[in-house]
Amino acid sequence: MRNPRPNMLSVIAEEATPGSTAISTPGSRASLTDSQSRWIQASGGGANMVSEFDEVMMEAMVLSEVAAIKHAVVIHGGRDFLACILTLVCESDGSTLTNVAKKWAKAQGSLVQTAQEAKNDAKFRDGLLAAFGRCNKMVQESARRQGVQRPPIILRRFALVTDQFTAENGLLLPTGKPNRQAVFFRFSDVINGMYDSASPTSGNLRHGSGGTPEGSLTSQPQPPSVSSSVPTVSSNGSTVMSTVHSDRNNNNNNNSNSNSNNNSNNNNSNNSSSSNNNSNSNNSNSNS
């Protein structure tokens, strides 16, 4: 059974256009494109090619645009847009924004003090949308200069998490860089939720209740799929097995009840036969 983590900020979904500015969709929480890697669709063979240099360059773009972001991990998963897990720059308590992050927020017209407040603040989100729109434009211009024939894949979804990336929890490498595989494992449900919030063909939003796509985490995170599809979480096998075991127990009980009924019927039949035999014997003696 899926158990949402209490310190996980909900997924935010809105559209960020490929242009210089991002568009905030009315009624939705916020969409965006986010940080760390740039994926460019190569002209040869229609393959989606990305290099470590591209990832580092895009991360540098985003971090230079948004001082409030501390870490970001971008996911492609073979889809037509990118998604991202990100954290904000916080104090040692993991919740209160640093002065640098507050200053960036204030420049957007936001007075948020914590990551939770930032997640719920429209002005903070609008500032992120605009910044990521500028990053998308830089990616497009770079692709155009390189003569890439097909449009680059851009960033459209993000999820803020309050889990700080540290070496102790395995989300940071010794070099201080995010441990991508560990992030994939830990937030696999959230990654799926970001992709599920959009139509697989058009990229349009498909909201749940309240206009906010749900993103939950399993108590035992599963590794992402190695195929070209988005990392998926395996079905909760424990529940399924429990159901199977329950059905087996019911079948065993039914078989036991059936056997008891058969034994009872056999006993009744035997008793009836014995009674009839005794009656016949008495009648015979009487006739004698």
Q: Which amino acid is at 56?
A: V
How far is C-alpha 256 from the chain's CA centre? 45
How far apart are alpha carbons 82 and 253 in whole angstroms?
A: 52
| pLDDT at residue 99 is higher than 90 | yes
| pLDDT at residue 91 is higher than 90 | yes
Q: For strands 40-41 and 48-49, give the pairing.
A: antiparallel
pLDDT band at 263 (very low <50, low <70, confident <90, very high): low
User: Given its phi and psi angles, is residue 78 left (phi above 0), alpha (psi -120 to 50 degrees) or beta?
Assistant: left
Give alpha helix (H) positions in 97-236. Answer: 99-107, 115-120, 122-145, 180-186, 188-196
| pLDDT at residue 105 is higher than 90 | yes
Structure-token pair, residue 205: 């939003």
Task: Answer whether 0.75 is exceeded by the pTM.
Answer: no
> Greater confidence, 161 or 66?
66
> For residue 205, which of 38, 117, 88, 81 has the smallest C-alpha distance?
81
Structure-token pair, residue 41: 């669709």
Q: Are 12 and 31 in contact (CB under 8 A)?
A: yes
Bridge partners (DSSP) listed for residue 274: none
Structure-token pair, residue 236: 């909760």
Q: What's the helix, strand, coil split of the chain in %, to 5?
A: 45, 10, 45
How far is C-alpha 115 from the chain's CA centre? 20
Lowest mean pLDDT among 14-28, 75-89, 92-106: 14-28
How far apart are alpha carbons 87 and 68 in whole angstroms?
A: 9
Range list of β-strands (E), 90-247? 155-160
> Greater confidence, 223 or 73?
73
